[in-house]
Amino acid sequence: MTDMPELQDRDLSHAGSVVDKAIEYMMGQKVSSMAIASALLGGAMGVLSRSLPEDVIVQILQNAIASVESGEMRGMSGPDTAGQA
């Protein structure tokens, strides 16, 4: 990871755009939302496991679970905006 915030923002925006295009493509190919989400989550877990210790990954997952349980994710339904960071 880099310490330069502007580079991180650019990388995040680029990665988000690529993921959005991949999702758009798979939706066009009639791949189910569950399959797309599962594949993306699996890929993300692979990236995390190569770059972070297990306790940090667990913390990230616990934060994600807390967001779901608090209802925070309900407000995110609608068009994907991952590449619009």
Domain ranges of the chain: 5-72
Cβ density class 49-78: b for 16+ within 10 Å, e for less: eeeeeeeeeeeeeeeeeeeeeeeeeeeeee
2-36 pLDDT, tens per residue? 456 676 888 989 999 999 999 999 999 999 999 99
38-78 pLDDT, tens per residue? 999 999 999 999 999 999 999 999 999 999 999 988 877 66
Plot region of 16 (φ>0 → left; ψ -120 to 50 → alpha; else → beta): alpha
Residue 10 one-letter amino acid: R
Q: What pTM was estimated for this model as a whole? A: 0.69
